[in-house]
Amino acid sequence: MVVKKHWQSFGELTGSDSFKASSEKEFAEELPQEGIDSKGILDLKSPRRDFLKYLGFSTAAAALAASCEIPVKKAIPYLNKPENMAPGVADYYATTYTSGGDVVPILAKVRDGRPIKIEGNELSSLTKGGTSARVQASVLDLYDTARLRFPVQMTSNGPQQITSFDAFDKMIAGAMGSLGGAPVVILTSSITSPTTRQIISEFLAKNAGSRHVQYDADSFSGMMLANEACYGKKAIPAYQFDNAKVIVSLGADFLGTWLTPVEFARQYSKGRKIDEKNPEMSMHYQFESMLSTTGGSADERFVHRPTETGAVALALLAAVGGNATAPALGDKLKFGVNEAAKSLLGNKGKGLVVSGSNDVHVQTVVNSINEMIGANGSTVNWGTTVQTRQGIDSDFESLVADLNAGKVGALLVYGVNPVYTHYAADKFKAGLQKTKLTVSFNDRIDETTELCKYAIPAPHFLESWGDAEGKTGYFSLMQPTIAPLFLTRPFEDSLLRWSGNNTEYENYFKQYWTGKLGAVEAYQKALQDGVIEPSVPSAGGATYNGGKLAESVAALSSRKIGTGLELVIYQKISMGVGYQANNPWLLELPDPITKATWDNYAIVSPEYAKKTWNLDLANRRQADKYEVYPEKKVVSINAGGKKLELPVLIFPGIHNDVVAVAVGFGRQSAAQDKTQDKTRDYIGRAVVGAGVNAFPLTSYNGTTIDWFVPDITIDQTDKTYSVAQTQTHSSYEGRDEVVKEMTLEDFKKSPQEILDERAKALKPFGGLENFEKEGTLFPYYDKPGIHWGMSIDLNSCIGCGACAIACHAENNVPVVGKSEVMRFHDMHWMRIDRYFSGDPMDPDSVQTVFMPMLCQHCDNAPCENVCPVSATNHSSEGLNQMAYNRCIGTKYCANNCPYKVRRFNWADYTGADSFPDNQVFTGVGKLDDSVIMMNDDLTRMVLNPDVVVRARGVMEKCSFCVQRLQEGKLKAKKENRPLKDMEDVRTACQQACPTEAIVFGNVNDGTSRIRQMREGNPERLYYALEDLHVIPNVNYLAKIRNTEKISDSITES
């Protein structure tokens, strides 16, 4: 084939030079590439393409240079590494939580020299590792910015620093010398420490005429005096709720604030756990004036007026066959008393009656009741006595009188704050002024310290040596977990020094215990264990002497029962009497019942609200209006000649004629004037504006302090005050997908009911067995290896909130302050939902459910598929995990979470934000001072270095304590053995729980506790909102009530 040549021009045809030249060049014109051959490439004057390169590089370089300026932070390694301490590895030291007499054996988790978390000491047979919210939060008190940092002399110009303890001791010695023989009084809270007691007695021996007065703000003197009369012992017996099949509490909040709640909760939970094969549980009657935390767990509740307390006790005594005639009571109350009596008599020796009253006569009658039902020696254990409360009210009264009479030369105040907690603080204040030498041993300049002449900073218990004997024979030791942060000196050291003993307390303590235990090894073992306990639990009764009963019966019979409004003063589980008042974790912990934070308030009944404000909480329309706005009405309470202005919260379960106010709030320094007010500096930044002080409303009846006021009036004001509640809707609206509860009787009759219901609901989607696989269009994936799961027993949960604080501490959950809680910006990863059912107008019918709610770690999580950037995703171990760095904060996941457990960082709560200086601002969303306080360098020492501090703008939520899981896994791996749950891994909430309501572990491990829990409780097991097919990894065990019926939803539909 001939190849044809096509040509376009003559030049191409002929192949002329000009054509060749032009065809070699791509472009007709000269390209602006100057001098490429004459000079090197580096000398070019940026040709066109290079220009773009240069532009790109210089922009990138400039951006890099501008943005990568990261401040250099130097991490300095140990030059000589201390033995037994590896940076980044936590050490646990056994020590003891003490506060106002309370004793809880604990372990302190110490990371790189600073305690960051409290865990319960499982070697203690009393608490078995349980803790309370206050115990969990106490680690934050160590880093409190308001702590007194050096010894001071209080002058009219405020506290003046004294440079050294020697100088201080000299001043004190001088002052002591000039007392002229006037006695020295040591005023303390209940002293449980045997060494401290010994040091005090040594000091007293050196100072003739001096004495030791113990004062408890929440005293048990009524009980102790009654016991003195009945048993010849001015002491409190150990109660054994674990032996009790019938528990009758006459207003004792024994799971929350009464005596040793952590221990009681542990004992109580024993009777509340259900064995499905043989379902039995204890019967708990609660007679009280307001709905307490304990009342929330009761099977049967009956409310009465505070002035009826004696009558109820008498009626119960009469009903159990005691020597009393039953006074007239309302029908319901009478019925309740008879029911309780029947149960008690039917379970002789297995019943227990306790009373929260501080009235000698009531306690005498209760003693008699316990005698009649055979409790003495079984549930009332006199083999050991409780020492956490030893104060007798009258002792303090006579001290106040002595002070005012000028009979006291020197007053040494340690661990108490009567100016705040005493009903007649003015009298005490006047007495203080008249006393020549007043020294306070305190961690801060509180109300009392401010009025003393000298103050010496007391170390936190985590910085101290010490011991405590909460119950006789049960010791718990204390050892420092950190070098003292400030120039502090233990109380004991001062006393030793001032009594001329130059031994340091540390050595004194060591000698004491080595001597007592016989050998240094034993002492070291004891320190390591933290507790010393009798090998056989001490148990036994005491001889009862009913001699005083008739007198008490007569006294109670003659008491007038009120007809008007009455006031009851109570303690909140978070605050108690206020020793840990400046603790933002505790202030932000929602009250178990009211779910209110940061304040106290007056609780009134729905009936009162209906009567007074025509506000009907049973009416949905009005309830909606009431509950959604935080602004609550303010009333002025006139009680016993004193006035108190408080916001009102309306809650069912309180007696219709009772108003309840909590103590522990309303801290205030001496100068009330705004410009002079030192509360912020002296007591703490978090307490400013938190509630009002209700202690002045308590009164002295001649023997003991009364915590109620019989006849009060309420004046309406037109003011409102905002109360920050984390939960505003109290009914679960009959949504049994969320909460399942049954009566014990029904459960015995048809134990399969819950299982059948679930099976029925899931039947169209594969049934119980195959729901996960067949309830979806998507493929099913196996879950090999570890799969984490949690089980929460609603029957054991008492709503105490220890888990919530443990979670705070473990996971660096930020404090957001009242103003942010009010905007529903609370950050708790672990919350306890509280629901009521029953008729709000009938307090007896009100039933309470506590439901711990946390991320359910759904295997088919709705939050995961909506995140546009996969910031939240699923781990191969079943964890729903958050990659904070990846989160861009669309909040879509939170919206799509059916459990609403996701928490968003609305502002820079933690100071971890990339924007500097954006925590302090005014206007919308202004952060409270408490948030700023939590970001102080000192306070930040509490942060757990294993958990990242989340920046503003990212979502966070429960991680199942993934850092703990990782640690556990590594431990098992290093020891080359399979993971053992309970030993290797426990979540913070699980560890803190005093009732073991939470069980956690690997569900793929056939021997794990969680597996046993699920397999052992198929009839109570359920998953919240199971039919959504989100496949949660948290299951609940339905609540079983030992009562006749489950109350209906609280609002009418």
Partner 1 sequence: MALLKYESQVRPPLVAGDKHYHDVTEDILRPVESNPTMLWWVGFIGALALLGFGVFSIYREVVYGVGQWNINRTVGWGWDITNFVWWIGIGHAGTLISAILLLFRQGWRTGVNRAAEAMTIFAVICAGQFPIWHMGRVWMGFFVLPYPNTRGVLWPNFNSALLWDVFAISTYFTVSLLFWYTGLLPDLASIRDRARLKWRKFFYGVCAFGWSGSTKHWQRHEALALVLAGLSTPLVLSVHTIVSFDFATSVIPGWHTTIFPPYFVAGAIFSGFAMVQSLLIISRKVLKLEEYITIEHIDVMNKIIVLTGSIVGCAYLTELFIAWYSQNKFEGWAFMQNRVNLFSPLGWSYYIMMSCNVLSPQIFWFRKMRRSVVVTFFMSVIVNIGMWFERFVIIVTSIYRDYVPSSWTVYYSPSIYEVGFYLGTFGLFFTCYFLFSKFFPVIAVAEIKNILKRSGENYKAKMGEAEAETPEEFAHEMAHAH
Query: How far, in Å, CA of 642 to CA of 697, rounded?
Result: 7
Q: Looking at 131-139, 198-206, 548-556, 731-739, which segment touches partner 1 (CB under 8 A)?
A: 731-739
Indicate whether 857 belongs to the interface with partner 1 (CB under 8 A).
Answer: no
Least spacing, CB of residue 892 vs partner 1, in Å? 6
Binding mask 916-935 for partner 1 (x = CB under 8 A): --x--x-xxx----------
Q: Are 197 and 349 in contact (CB under 8 A)?
A: no
Single-letter amino acid, residue 446: D
Q: Looking at 234-242, 342-350, 391-399, 722-730, which segment touches partner 1 (CB under 8 A)?
A: 722-730
Among 894, 912, 932, 982, which residue interacts with partner 1 (rule: CB under 8 A)? 894
Indicate whether 735 belongs to the interface with partner 1 (CB under 8 A).
Answer: yes
Indicate whether 914 belongs to the interface with partner 1 (CB under 8 A).
Answer: yes
Q: Tell me whether residue 220 or residue 906 sits nearer to partner 1 (CB atom).
A: 906
Environment class of 309 (CB within 10 Å of its CB; exposed 0-12, middle 13-18, buried 19+): buried
Q: Tell me whether residue 925 or residue 978 sits nearer to partner 1 (CB atom).
A: 925
Least spacing, CB of residue 799 vs partner 1, in Å? 12
Query: How far, in Å, CA of 808 to CA of 118, rounded?
Result: 11
- The DSSP code sequence of 933-952 is HHTSTTGGGGS-TTSPPPPT
Least spacing, CB of residue 837 vs partner 1, in Å? 12
Q: Tell me whether residue 549 or residue 887 sits nearer to partner 1 (CB atom).
A: 887
Indicate whether 896 belongs to the interface with partner 1 (CB under 8 A).
Answer: yes
Angle at which helices 505-517 and 194-206 pack, to 10 degrees? 120
Interface with partner 1: number of residues (CB under 8 A): 70
Q: Are 882 and 957 in contact (CB under 8 A)?
A: yes
Residues 933-992 that bind partner 1 (CB under 8 A): 951-955
For the chain, how far is it from start to end, CA to CA, in angstroms? 97
Look at the chain and count its residues: 1053
Q: Looking at 54-62, 125-133, 485-493, 866-874, which segment touches partner 1 (CB under 8 A)?
A: 866-874
Query: How far, in Å, CA of 187 to CA of 193, rounded?
Result: 15
Least spacing, CB of residue 900 vs partner 1, in Å? 4
Backbone φ, ψ for residue 835 (5° rounding): -120, 145
Query: How far, in Å, CA of 697 to CA of 709, rounded?
Result: 7
- Bin 676: left if φ > 0, else alpha if -120 < ψ < 50, else beta: alpha
Among 907, 933, 943, 998, which residue interacts with partner 1 (rule: CB under 8 A)? 907
Q: Looking at 92-100, 286-294, 312-320, 860-868, which segment touches partner 1 (CB under 8 A)?
A: 860-868
Residues 478-507 that bind partner 1 (CB under 8 A): none
Indicate whether 625 belongs to the interface with partner 1 (CB under 8 A).
Answer: yes
Q: Are 998 and 990 in contact (CB under 8 A)?
A: yes
Indicate whether 81 belongs to the interface with partner 1 (CB under 8 A).
Answer: no
Percent of residues in the chain assigned helix, strand, coil, to nearest 5: 35, 20, 45
Among 248, 252, 697, 738, which residue interacts with partner 1 (rule: CB under 8 A)? 738
Among 232, 507, 915, 973, which residue interacts with partner 1 (rule: CB under 8 A)? 915
Rg of the chain on CA atoms, in Å: 34
Query: How far, in Å, CA of 679 to CA of 519, rounded?
Result: 48
Least spacing, CB of residue 409 vs partner 1, in Å? 56
Contacts of 989 (CB under 8 A, 6+ apart): 803, 804, 806, 807, 830, 852, 854, 998
Indicate whether 870 belongs to the interface with partner 1 (CB under 8 A).
Answer: yes
Indicate whether 868 belongs to the interface with partner 1 (CB under 8 A).
Answer: yes
Least spacing, CB of residue 812 vs partner 1, in Å? 18
Q: Tell me whether residue 241 or residue 904 sits nearer to partner 1 (CB atom).
A: 904
Q: Looking at 222-230, 398-406, 656-664, 861-869, which segment touches partner 1 (CB under 8 A)?
A: 861-869
Q: Tell me whether residue 509 or residue 850 sits nearer to partner 1 (CB atom).
A: 850
Environment class of 472 (CB within 10 Å of its CB; exposed 0-12, middle 13-18, buried 19+): middle
Indicate whether 763 belongs to the interface with partner 1 (CB under 8 A).
Answer: no
Among 891, 969, 971, 1014, which residue interacts with partner 1 (rule: CB under 8 A)? 891
Among 211, 332, 434, 729, which residue interacts with partner 1 (rule: CB under 8 A)? 729
Least spacing, CB of residue 1053 vs partner 1, in Å? 9
Q: Looking at 81-89, 234-242, 735-743, 795-803, which segment touches partner 1 (CB under 8 A)?
A: 735-743
Query: How far, in Å, CA of 1032 to CA of 1034, rounded?
Result: 5
Least spacing, CB of residue 768 vs partner 1, in Å? 20
Q: Tell me whether residue 720 or residue 865 sits nearer to partner 1 (CB atom).
A: 865
Closest CA to 986 of 1018, 1005, 1008, 961: 961
Binding mask 822-841 for partner 1 (x = CB under 8 A): -xxxx----x-xxx------
3-state DSSP call for residue 811? helix
Least spacing, CB of residue 814 vs partner 1, in Å? 12
Q: Tell me whether residue 941 or residue 1025 sits nearer to partner 1 (CB atom).
A: 1025
3-state DSSP call for residue 683? coil
Query: How far, in Å, CA of 26 to CA of 92, rounded?
Result: 79
- The DSSP code sequence of 238-252 is EE-GGG-SEEEEES-
Q: Tell me whether residue 176 or residue 866 sits nearer to partner 1 (CB atom).
A: 866
Least spacing, CB of residue 719 vs partner 1, in Å? 20
Indicate whether 905 belongs to the interface with partner 1 (CB under 8 A).
Answer: yes
Environment class of 940 (CB within 10 Å of its CB; exposed 0-12, middle 13-18, buried 19+): middle
Query: In angstroms, what CA-CA distances link 842 with 708, 836, 838, 846, 847?
Result: 22, 12, 8, 7, 11
Indicate whether 902 belongs to the interface with partner 1 (CB under 8 A).
Answer: yes
Query: How far, in Å, CA of 326 to CA of 345, rounded?
Result: 17
Q: Tell me whether residue 819 or residue 1043 sits nearer to partner 1 (CB atom).
A: 819
Least spacing, CB of residue 282 vs partner 1, in Å? 27
Q: Tell me whether residue 51 or residue 824 sits nearer to partner 1 (CB atom).
A: 824
Closest CA to 907 of 879, 886, 935: 935
Environment class of 904 (CB within 10 Å of its CB; exposed 0-12, middle 13-18, buried 19+): buried
Tally helices (H) and strands (E) across the chain.
Answer: 35, 41
Among 122, 733, 772, 774, which residue interacts with partner 1 (rule: CB under 8 A)? 733
Least spacing, CB of residue 617 vs partner 1, in Å? 15
Query: How far, in Å, CA of 580 to CA of 687, rounded?
Result: 10
Least spacing, CB of residue 927 vs partner 1, in Å? 8
Query: How far, in Å, CA of 573 to CA of 800, rounded?
Result: 7
Indicate whether 820 belongs to the interface with partner 1 (CB under 8 A).
Answer: yes
Indicate whether 859 belongs to the interface with partner 1 (CB under 8 A).
Answer: no
Q: Looking at 111-119, 498-506, 909-917, 983-991, which segment touches partner 1 (CB under 8 A)?
A: 909-917
Least spacing, CB of residue 849 vs partner 1, in Å? 10
Among 628, 676, 782, 1006, which residue interacts with partner 1 (rule: CB under 8 A)? 628
Q: Are 370 and 380 in contact (CB under 8 A)?
A: yes
Indicate whether 899 belongs to the interface with partner 1 (CB under 8 A).
Answer: yes
Residues that bind partner 1 (CB under 8 A): 620-621, 624-625, 628-629, 727-729, 731-733, 735, 737-738, 820, 823-826, 831, 833-835, 851, 853, 862, 865-870, 886-892, 894-896, 898-900, 902-908, 913-915, 918, 921, 923-925, 951-955, 1024-1025, 1028, 1030
